[in-house]
Amino acid sequence: MKITQSEALHKEAQQHIVGGVNSPSRAYKGVGGGTPVYMERGEGAYFWDVDGNKYIDFLGAYGPIITGHAHPHITEAIKKAAENGVLYGTPTKLENIFAQKLKATIPSMEKVRFVNSGTEAVMTTVRVARAYTNREKVIKFAGCYHGHFDTVLVQAGSGPATLGNPDSAGVTKATAQEVITVPFNDIEAFQAALDTWGDEVAAVLVEPIVGNFGIVEPVEGFLQQVNNLTHDAGALVIYDEVITAFRFTYGSAQKIVGVEPDMTALGKIIGGGLPIGAYGGKQEIMETVAPLGPAYQAGTMAGNPASMSAGIACLEVLEEAGLYDRLDQLGAMLEKGMLDAAEKHGIDITVNRLKGALTLYFGSETITNYAQAEASDGEKFGQFFKLMLQQGINLAPSKYEAWFLTIAHTEDDIKETIACIDKAFAEMAS
Ligand code: PLP
């Protein structure tokens, strides 16, 4: 496969855009380097790059794309919004329609606010929780990504429940000291953190089904215990559902896990591919937000008609009965294909899957927390990623990311992908 146009564009990009990319995960650092492929067109489950090569896409733009690229219903809604003027700076009816649609399927969001990204959504829930509880510390789980605001760019120190260290230059030590990081699925470590800092904790940030060190489900009872212990400590539970909402079912993961948080942050899928975020929660907590309360949050682009239109259209597509079962069937087919090919070629892999989202880890250990995901073989993943890309399969360039199926993928696409996996494993085994 020739990628000469991509190579030329990437050379040019590096002269003008820092690192040649507008988000670091798009560079191929996590797979041992190389030239990122420059895509030109997406339709359904496919991409075409600037050199004319065709790909089956499993990146799904890191989660937002579940309807396939350029879904006609969403495209039409965006066109109509563009014709009516994309930004008003006034309230619109679309915001009411969309807020009601979200509330109808996520009842814990009694009041909603739209913002422009998942980062903004999570960041604001933390601010609101601090304002509501009059406390400052936040507990998060190791390996979970919640966007790029300072509080969440903090990693665990040594030990099972520790105050954090900055994970990025520019994050102050004082900020890191506000964050306690504990391993996911470890209720003893969580309890220990609350025993030490409980009366200072404003909120616990939770991905109810982890999407950021692969797809990792909570062990039985874990999230209920997290809720109970957090509330006993007088703190709030925030679910970061930026990846999970509308990914596994029509609505949120809280519906699947059967536990309700105090606040929820949304993003990705709910924008139908346009920039969006939203947060919400119990009315009493949300009344802390300006103009009703003292916690400030605003946005020139917040609730803009283009993102509202695309988001409403996306949910209209997803309302169709049976769609998530189909994603489950295709996901199961892909998972089986991976496991069969691995067995045939004697390659150790572990697959974590929920419905149409899955992660292939190189290694045989069960993955229930970040340390285990970290121990999976990144070098092998890098080799696999490149062998797949050369065969026209577009994956996320990181061993920690998920493969996201869309409603546009067909059984034939999955069969073709399994054949490519088989070839990649054969090469890796040789
Ligand atoms: N929360 C989770 C769980 C995410 O996966 C992400 C992005 O990947 C974010 C928050 C940040 O969202 P955004 O990139 O839209 O700012």
Residue-range domain boundaries for the chain: 4-70+322-429, 72-318
Q: What is the share, in percent, of the chain residues with pLDDT greater than 70?
A: 98
Strands 277-281 and 357-362, bridge-based pairing: unpaired
Residue 104: exposed, middle, or buried by beta-carbon count in 10 A (0-12, 13-18, 19+)?
exposed
Distance 125 CA to ligand 1 centre (A): 13
The CATH-assigned architecture of domain 72-318 is 3-Layer(aba) Sandwich (3.40)
Of the CATH numbers 3.30.365.10, 3.20.190.10, 3.90.1150.10, 3.10.310.10, which one belongs to the domain with range 4-70+322-429?
Answer: 3.90.1150.10
Distance 345 CA to ligand 1 centre (A): 36
Q: pLDDT by residue (tens digit) across 287-315?
A: 999 999 999 999 999 999 999 999 999 99
**Mean pLDDT of the region 51-70:** 98
Q: Which residue has the tokens 């601090």?
A: 130
Q: pLDDT by residue (tens digit) across 254-281?
A: 999 999 999 999 999 999 999 999 999 9
**Mean pLDDT of the region 402-418:** 98
- Do residues 59 and 26 lie in contact, with contact meaning Cβ atoms separated by under 8 Å? no
pLDDT at 108: 98
**Mean pLDDT of the region 21-29:** 92
Residues taking part in catalysis: 145, 240, 268
Ligand 1 contacts (CB < 6 A) are: 62, 117-119, 122, 145-147, 207, 211-212, 240, 242-243, 267
How many other β-carbons are positioned within 10 Å of the β-carbon of residue 374? 14
Res. 155 pLDDT band, cuts 50 70 90: confident
**Mean pLDDT of the region 7-20:** 97
Res. 159 pLDDT band, cuts 50 70 90: low
Res. 156 pLDDT band, cuts 50 70 90: low
Strands 277-281 and 403-404, bridge-based pairing: unpaired
Distance 182 CA to ligand 1 centre (A): 20
pLDDT at 3 over 70: yes
| For the CA of 23, the nearest atom of ligand 1 | 14
Which residues, including other chains, have CB under 8 Å from residue 212's CB and lie 6 or more apart? 143, 144, 145, 243, 400, 401
Exposure of 419 in the CB half-sphere (CA atoms within 13 A): 9
How many other β-carbons are positioned within 10 Å of the β-carbon of residue 331? 23
Closest among 219, 235, 137 to 184, alpha carbons compared: 219
| For the CA of 120, the nearest atom of ligand 1 | 16
Residue nearest to atom 7 of ligand 1 (CA): 147
> Do 72-318 and 4-70+322-429 have the same topology in CATH?
no
Query: Per the structure block, which two tokens stand in for 277?
Result: 């975020």
Q: Is the pTM of this model over 0.95?
A: yes
In angstroms, the CA 351 to CA 341 distance is 12
Distance 265 CA to ligand 1 centre (A): 10
pLDDT at 364 over 60: yes
| For the CA of 212, the nearest atom of ligand 1 | 5
Residue nearest to atom 11 of ligand 1 (CA): 147
Best mutation site among 114, 138, 146, 216 for ligand 1, i.e. most ligand atoms within 8 A of its Cβ? 146
